[in-house]
Structure 1
Amino acid sequence: MDGSWLVIVVLIGVSVAWIPVLQGANSGQLFIYMQSVTSSLAPPVTAVFILGVFWQRANEQGAFWGLMVGLAVGATRLVLEFLHPALPCGAVDTRPAVLGSIHYLHFAIALFALSGAVVVAGSLLTPPPPGAQIQNLTWWTLGRDLPPGAKTAGSRKQAFWARVCGLNAILLMCVNIFFYAYFA
């Protein structure tokens, strides 16, 4: 028998111990707590992913520093939220300005922009990735620059459907951004 049962028991213990933290955070509203945590940790990953797919010049160093800076800033806000929980309605807000005056969803947009800027700066300050390394990995290199004789009707068909799926993904992303902007 392996030690996986021990990991499960430890995780259950951590989950039970985390309940008072959840009840104290955001007035016990689990949905707001989950959204707040996600808005502090997801934007750097999203920025790196989008730039990696749509920008051929993005490289490993830019992605690394974009993630490090973004996750450090997001984790700092997350720690501040734990140290300074939300106050009840009508109470004077004495929390730091980054918590009191910037909503967590607006913070997510700023964190996304900051992470993207760091990825772009880091990528431009270091050598670009070799063409062979990004072949068929970015939007612009999909099904392009195949070796002579390898470009068959099947690979063109795959590239066509990959672009159709990519366009559908972009359409869905635009719909999500619209809903986010409309309902935020």
Structure 2
Amino acid sequence: MYFAALLARTEDGWEASDTELDDVETLSDLTDLARDASVDEDTVLVFIEQEDAWFGVVRVDGEDDPRIFVSDATAAARSSYGEILLTDELLGREPGAEDTIAALEELVGLDGTEDGAPDTTPDNHSDTTSDLTSDTDSDDPDDDGFGADADAVPAGPLGDTLILADLGLPEAELLMLRTDALAEIEDALGAAEVQETVR
């Protein structure tokens, strides 16, 4: 189960609202959503949480590039919304690398044959084939079939750990957040009174 909320800073403090992600397919979509909620191009925070698994924060300041923090990159990689946040830049890889890998995997099956071609591998090599494919099979019951390959993503927190430092939540405290992270963030930002509007 996912939960998403927007926190927009105004002259009178923070305004909070829950938000739907149905039409969000890319980080650019999410950034546009934040900018639409911005008051005088002030800071907007987008909070996304998959219950008891991971949470992410995207910070948008005017026209600046979005800043991103993900609490558990491996868990987020198994999520369709996590994939939005785990950009090539955040993962430190060449842009488009994931698309290239996916295209190659579609062209050539895991058994080394072209898509649609019969598998002529002798039976006595079946153990070798099993060894080659075992690392790619997932027995994880939480894998929803979306997102990046979790094996290619570093474990633990990823991104800008100082994303909320100037707003009242230091790096060390951010890294300690696990469950009910939004309430902790709102409390640190002095926005605890707006929590009921988004829960």
Task: Give TM-score, length-normalised by structure 1.
Answer: 0.30
Which structure carries more strand by proportion? 2
Please say which structure displays the higher CA radius of gyration. 1
Whose relative contact order is higher, 1 or 2, with alpha carbons under 8 Å and at least 6 apart? 1
